[in-house]
Each structure stands twice: as structure tokens, then as C-alpha cells.
Structure 1
Amino acid sequence: MRIAKRILWLLMILALAGCDQGQEPVAQEGVGVEQPTRTEQENNAEGAPPLTTALPVEVDPGKLQGVFGFADETGSRLIVTGEVEGQRENLDQITHAVGENGVILSVTHEMWQEGDDAGSGRDTSYNFAHLSGDLFTVTEGIAEPNATYYLFQPQEIPLNSLLEVALDGQPVVDENLRERLESAKDRDIRQLWRLAEIGTDAELYLALFHPDGKEHLFSFVLVRNQSEVVLDYPATVEDTNSVWRVDDQGEVIPEMFSFLFAARTTGQGIFIAMEWYGAEGINVLFLRSSEDRFIELETRYGRYTAPL
């Protein structure tokens, strides 16, 4: 009888403790047991604020939309001239513009400007009111009058991907670099300049080589992490009045180039947007580098600015 009472007593204790095999102990919320991660769908279903998604910190050149404009004489407006094919609805989503060595402006899409026939046909601030195109108002900052800008959404060019550009433009006396370039191209360098420092670990150079008969060559050289990648611009002409650009006399100098911005790209590369000034207009170049390549992208923009 005494043994039976003990067995009954033990069974009651086990039942009260809930310690049957396979039964998990119950823990209070937030105490002792890690809670499962809530999904964004669960948050939204319960009325909680959505989970934030971090923006990328690099530019993907394949996703650049290629929307360019330039400023009026007051620096308060930008115009994107002509129709932007297939992107009309995207213009309202544009919130920023970048130019002048990475200066960021806040902008908002204002209206379409019809333009008229009273202008000069030039893409300049002086002819701004006569051009057809989409107008943007600068809501924060002041644009440089007549300067070119790239207009974008933050997910297209994350602001924290932008790199500082420190202009130089001075001749370079670097015999090691000169010898490596001359050996690679099998011709002598006429002049070598450092155009700019980009970020904390890159320098962009401009090398102009002596002509070899009708063969002309200049190169951009990006030096980074003690190695260099080169982008060549060869030309074969008999008339040296216009080799690369109209009336350039076969010359390239640092004053012909300026920078819109530079940024980190996917794959630990560098993206450079720069302008090339000529006698009749301004061309924008999109350059991309990796560890072993330096290329010009197909995306381009040009402004006809020939003096009257």
C-alpha cells in the first residue's frame, strides 16, 4: 500500500511538471529562448513598419539610365533636352543631380518646356529658354551656370559610393611610369600629366605620345594599388588640324577635361564620368576600370556649344 501511494505521488509530480518525453519546456517571450526572425510580410500584415532594405554602396554601370542636363544662368534650374525615350515616367522619380567634381544637388521634376525657333541652336545656358526639354528645379544647393549634370535616383548612384576627386593637371616627372608606358606602346611620350587623385588609392594620368607618321595616340592611365590600366585613343589622319576633335590641332591637354563624378563600382572597380571639351561642343565619357581593364562605356552625352 505504501509503495502504491509513492508511485501515485510520483505520477502526479510528473504530470504537473509537463515533462513527458518530446514535450518542449515553455519559455516566456524574450527570456532565455531566441525568438524567430519576423519576415517583412508578417510585419506588414500586423501593421508594423516594414523592414528597411540597405541601399548598395557601389554603382552598377549597367543600371545607369543616362539622364543628362545642364544648368541655366542662375543655377536654379536644369534642363534635360529632347525626349528621353522610354523614361518619361521615370523623370518624376529623379531626386538628385551630380556634377562639378561630385557636387550633389537635390532636384525635382518641374515641367516640359516646349521651346521655340528664336534660339541659336546651342545647348548652353544663354539659349536655355528657347530649348525643348524637361525642366528640373534645384531645391537644395546651387548649380554652376552652364555646367553639365547627371540626374539620377539614389538607388542608381548611392551617395556613399561617390569618391572624392582632387584635380591636379600638372606635368609629371615619373621616369618609371613613363618608361613602362613607352615600352608598352613602343613610342615616346610627348607629355605626361596627372589629371586627378580619385578616392584614397587611385590617380588618373593623361599621356600624349609623339605621332608616328599618320598614327596618333593619347591614353588615360589609371594607377591604383601600384599597378596601372590604360585606355587608348588612337587616330589615323593626314590632316592634323582635326585629329580627335574638330580643330584640336592634334593636341590634348588637361584643360580639355573635367570631372562630373567618380564612384566605386561592383567588383571593386572605379567608375569615372568626365567631360571632354572641344571647339564645337562638350562630350561626356563614362569610363570603368577593373584590376586589368579600363574601358569606355557606350553611354554618352554631347552638347553643341560652338561659339557664334
Structure 2
Amino acid sequence: MAGTSLPSCLLSQGPSLLFSSSNQDSEANKCRIGITSGKRCLVRCFAKKKISFVDQILDYIEGGPKLRKWYGAPELRPKDGSLSGDDDEFEAEEKEDDLDGEKDVVFVTDGDSDLGQMIILQLIVKGTRVKALVKDKRKALEAFGSYVELTTGDASDERFLKKAFKGVGAVISPTEGFLSNVKSFRGVKHAVLLSQLSVYESSGGIQAMMNSKAKKLAEQDENAAISSNVPYTIIRTGKLENSPGGSQGFNFSAGAAAKGSISKEDAARICVEALSVIPPTGLIFEVTNGEEVVSDWEGQLMKVMQRQSDKK
């Protein structure tokens, strides 16, 4: 064969080629490609540096097919190239609800947001049935595939919510502006609200002016949860940070949220863990990242609830 021959050290049984990836992390990640003389080609990739589980999950958000393949789900594509109409979806939900099945679905609002996506993915990992309110159904379908039932609509539309809540036992609202629009929580057994009210109340000057609208929405959402006649959990977090979760402890002391911060990943996890403890009426607590290590979330939340009860 004409041209420069390959070094003998790169050759093995049946011609093969080994080489490192040429990206900036070539030392951390290496890829081996074995090319056989037949028609088949074997590709092997080895990563010396492991990325965190949450980082992998977030990668799957941006590359939906990877998420589906990871869980073994088939590719989902609308047959006609478009998403089914809401009316057809609602009719299907109504028929399913007529069976009076167990309300074990968790409804996540603002599923397009960072927090919404993190919550959805943690619920998927737990094997929970999830329904999500999203703005862009097509992108969400690419991200989550068959693991999430997607819906779009106006929270102030009673007809929409009545059908969206069919089969729903719990609602998680990670951002402001949803709960205050809900006129009826019929059938819902638990509402979980992530609130930034403590952060907004502690801000001053220009920041306070910028947060005025969000503060009003947060107040309305908390009031809506309290007056909903549904057991509620209001999680008042500190300032939300885009830092990795799972590397710090927590602080549940009163007043912590006004001064501290918490990673979005940790905040999302607390929202999911809160589903394990349904308070008799309501539970409100503050949390930031801190020094306290939590290994038993159900026990921790029971402790927080007892602390709230003792203060009354």
C-alpha cells in the first residue's frame, strides 16, 4: 500500500488502530477505535475521570436520545410530525381517570426551568410517575421521552387544570406564579412549594425593586398553598446557586434562608424528598447549605415538623 505505514505498536490481530481523542481533556479521556478487516467496527471508549451522576443527568437533558437509550426507552416521534392535540390528550386522560386508579402521579410545574428539569430527573430515577407542565412540548419530549407525561396550558384555565390534575396525587412547584392561579386542587393530596420569599424580603435597594414582582408572586403562592385545604410543604430556600449538589450539608435553622444560599441540585432534591412526609395540615421550613449532614430525609423532615409543632 502506498503512503506511510502505521507503527507496528499500533497494530494487533486483524488490522486495528488505537488513538487518543484530540480534545483539551485528552489526558483525562481516551478513546480506542478498533477497525477490523471485515465489515464490523468495534468502538471502545474509556474515561479515566468519572463525571458526577447529576452531571450525566444534565447531559441527558440536552441530548434527549441519550436519556432514552440509558433507560432503554424507544425513540418517540409523532407519526404525523406534530404533537397530538390537547383535546385528544385530555380525552385520553378522562378515560384513564374514569377507572379511578391510584393517584400516584407527581405534577411538576415549570418543567422547562433548570429546577423543574432537575426535579423531573430525580423523580424518574426514583421510578415515580411524572406529569410536567412545560412551555415547549417538543423539546421536552426530546429530553424526557416516554418517562414524563407532558402538558401545556394556562394554570388559570379551570378546564385545563381539572384535566391536568387527573391521576395526580402531589404537585411540586419550583418557581413563582403557578399555585396562586389554581382555583381548585381537587384530588391533590400534597402540594410542595419551593419559595424564595425569604431571599426577596431580605433584599434592599435596587435589588429589592428588581425583586418586587417576584416577591409579590411568592407571597401569593404561599398564601394559595396555605388556603388550599390540601396538606402543603413550603420550602423556603436561601439564594439558589448553580453549584454542584451533594457536596455540602444543610442548615435548617430559622432565619438561615435570608442570609445563606443553596445549590439548585440540593434544592431540587429536597423538593423530591419532601414527598415522603405529608404533614397533617402544613409544614413551612427554611433551608440552605450548611454543616448538617442528612442521611435520612424522612427522619429529618419529621424532626423539622416536630420542631414546628413545638413552637405552636
Indicate whether the TM-score tops 0.5.
Answer: no
Structure 1 or 2, whichever has the larger Rg, is 1
Scaled to the shorter chain, the TM-score interval is under 0.3
User: Which structure shows the higher helix fraction?
Assistant: 2
TM-score between the two structures when normalised by the length of structure 1:
0.23
Indicate the structure whose relative CO is greater, using CA pairs within 8 Å and at least 6 residues apart: 1
TM-score between the two structures when normalised by the length of structure 2:
0.23
User: Which structure shows the higher strand fraction?
Assistant: 1
